Amino acid sequence: MEGSEEDHPWQSYNTVYTTAKAGMEGVDKDKVQRVVYEMSKGSKYFQNEERKEAFIKHKIDNMRLQFANLTQADLSHYQKVADRRILELEASRDLSRIWLHVDMDAFYAAVETLSNPTLKGKPMAVGSMSMISTANYEARKFGVRSAMPGFIARKLCPELIFVPVDFNKYNHYSDLTRKVFQRYDPNFIAGSLDEAYLDITEVCRERNVKSEEIAQEIRASVYEETGLTCSAGVAPNRLLAKVCSDINKPNGQYVLPNDRLAVMTFISSLPIRKIGGIGKVTEQILKEVFGINTCEQMLDKSSYLCALFSQSTADFFYSVGLGLGKTDSPQVRFRKSISNERTFSVTEDEVLLHKKLAELAEMLSTDMQKEGLQGRTLTLKLKTASFEVRNRAVTLQNYINSSEDILKHASKLLKAELPVSVRLMGLRVSQFNGEKFGATPDPRQKTITNFITSGGANRKNSSFSDVADHDFVSDTETDVSIDGRHTDQLDGRDPFDGNHSLDVNYQSCTLWKNDGAEKVQTSDNDDPSSTHSGFTEVLGSTSFQGQFEGKNVNNEFNLLEDDKLNSSCQESIMLWLDDYKCSLCGTELPPSFVEERLEHSDFHFAEKLQKEESSIHPASTPIQSQDQKHRINRQSKSKKQKLSHKEGRYTPIDQFFVRE
């Protein structure tokens, strides 16, 4: 007879250390949960997980209440809306392309085994007692996996061998694999050091061979060049190709034919967690609120998804149910930012923190110079001992890429946070100056001039329906590695720097705990003793309780419902509410739309700079006529109506810029 939850408290402890990775199929999940629970109970990590669990439970309870309150009339209406949208998405299905996803098998661990053959057949993890970057398949049989603290992994597998990370080695082997990919698709998309997406349509057509043969050939070539094995998945789009590459790991492949019936059959029994963009939290909500366990059930419950989620999020779920994903192949593809970060044992030693910062600056500079990049915005990321994530950023007058310049400005950002106890540190540079290096602008990247229209422009072309359908079909293509370098597409800016008072704005924003309630405060100075910058990350979004500029906030929805919220504070901080809604304008973008979110935050940043420039140079701003003021006031009222929480509609970006 099974014990109660009181007897086995770990069973309700929804740890992120699932057994979903390849090579962990036979692991005793209950044992892993129990060990993680016992080893972390009472720690800062445990307390942070409890806060997350409480937030998820509250969110699920709210959604269940909304679910129960839907009437038959409501469901009938939403079913018609969903059916219409599903037909539109189905019409966009593209079966003309053949995509291949290559994923190296336990890459870091495999490279270390190649360097030291005595490790072969032994349970081994790359990392330390603090954090593991990856584990080989022998270690995974015990429940050991990436992003797990080493002391927990050692408890699960007492014979576990730790090998320190060596990114120079991993980059070398990654470059070798990419030379192979280049031969089959010059425009291949690198998801991370150990994975890539290739459009093999033309290769198959030119050589008159099947995709299965090309997959075998690529895997053989990678092994010949590196001595490492990889797995491959072939499908009509990138989303499904990534799922397929995981089916026959390690050292295997799976081909999904370019046939609608085959796709729908494949997707019918596919667990939702297998889809890129659906993580632990989304999975829990879909299962506990809607009873959705497989991708096919997304369509069965389409009316409920339409009723309780934004249109963009519902569209993503419909696309998953239809097996749709991205099939385009951008000819020019530039990164939005470049970053690296390191996880280490918790420390508040300022000397050690500055040493870590210097190492990050050196690595970041090397990566930037290797790619010929210079940037203006530098962001410092810190994760404290209590797992609070803080971000500080500065936008400079000049473009930089030297380690000296990066360290100089990063040290100022760090100084503003001291004293602080830190477990993770990262640096990111964005706002690149591609023109200086003769680079062709990314055709997918819009500039601010794209959004400026004359005051009399026709607004009819700015409706939500004009947004291309493919913007809602998302698949995760980037893999953020623990204790490793990665391309970071997220963006959160808090510009400040005393040396450039005309070009940089000092601001800070913080969330902190006070008697169990979280509060938000903004500050206009950079005194190290003042409130620190950053925000508490909860489940990939930011939520809070307490007071916000004198307004009571019970949950994230209230931010958009209260029109009287202080506008100056709104201009100072941009948050993604409920994981998908912009707190400044109400635009809805799910967390998997990484590049779209980046562009959106860039827009608000540019809008803010435009206002600051106007205030610095008031003489250059023409005096508005009464007609112009009246027109802007009308547009402002119209904008407020569009931001209504009830409507939840996308606000066209051009409505924010009007000029004569």
> Is 323 a residue whose pLDDT tops 80?
yes
CA atoms within 13 A on the CB side of 384: 21
Confidence of residue 371 (pLDDT cuts 50, 70, 90): confident
Residue pLDDT, tens place only, 180-230: 999 999 999 998 899 999 999 999 999 999 999 999 999 999 999 999 999
CA atoms within 13 A on the CB side of 133: 30
112, 138, 195, 283: which is the annotated catalytic residue?
195
Closest C-alpha to 479, from 127, 3, 146? 146
Residue pLDDT, tens place only, 289-320: 999 999 999 999 999 999 999 999 999 999 99
**What pLDDT sits at residue 446?**
52
> Is 660 a residue whose pLDDT tops 90?
no
**What pLDDT sits at residue 382?**
95
Residue pLDDT, tens place only, 515-526: 333 333 333 333
**What pLDDT sits at residue 530?**
33
- Alpha carbon separation from 32 to 1, 17, 155, 537 (Å, rounded): 20, 8, 10, 25
Mean pLDDT in residue range 152-160: 93
Task: Read off the DSSP letter of residue 113.
Answer: H
Residue pLDDT, tens place only, 39-49: 878 777 778 87
Mean pLDDT in residue range 510-536: 34
**What pLDDT sits at residue 595?**
63
Most confidently modeled of 91-95, 477-481, 508-512? 91-95
Q: Which residue has the higher pLDDT, 609 or 544?
A: 609
Confidence of residue 105 (pLDDT cuts 50, 70, 90): very high
> Is 547 a residue whose pLDDT tops 70?
no
Mean pLDDT in residue range 18-22: 65
Active site residue 195: yes
C-alpha to C-alpha distance for 449 and 50, rounded to whole angstroms: 46
**What pLDDT sits at residue 19?**
56
Residue pLDDT, tens place only, 122-131: 999 999 888 8
**What pLDDT sits at residue 499?**
33
- Alpha carbon separation from 523 to 55, 384, 569, 630 (Å, rounded): 27, 21, 10, 33
Counts of helices then strands in the chain (DSSP H, E): 21, 21
Read out DSSP for 458-511? -GGGGSGGGS-GGGG---------TTSEE-----------GGGTTT----EEEE
SS3 391: strand
Confidence of residue 645 (pLDDT cuts 50, 70, 90): very low
| Phi-psi group of 615: left, alpha or beta (phi > 0 → left; psi -120 to 50 → alpha; rest → beta) | alpha
Lowest mean pLDDT of 19-23, 72-76, 174-178, 459-463, name the range.
459-463
> Is 81 a residue whose pLDDT tops 90?
yes
Q: Residue 392 — φ and ψ, nearest 5°?
A: -125, 140
Element (H, E) at 138: helix 137-140
Confidence of residue 21 (pLDDT cuts 50, 70, 90): confident
Crossing angle of the two packed helices 44-68 and 280-290, in degrees rounded to 10? 30
Residue pLDDT, tens place only, 235-264: 999 999 999 999 999 999 999 999 999 999
Mean pLDDT in residue range 345-371: 93
Q: Residue 43 — φ and ψ, nearest 5°?
A: -80, 170
Q: Structure tokens of 326?
A: 């991205």
**What pLDDT sits at residue 599?**
66
Q: Which residue has the tokens 């547009």?
A: 635
C-alpha to C-alpha distance for 578 and 305, rounded to whole angstroms: 15
Residue pLDDT, tens place only, 585-617: 777 666 666 666 776 776 676 666 666 666 655
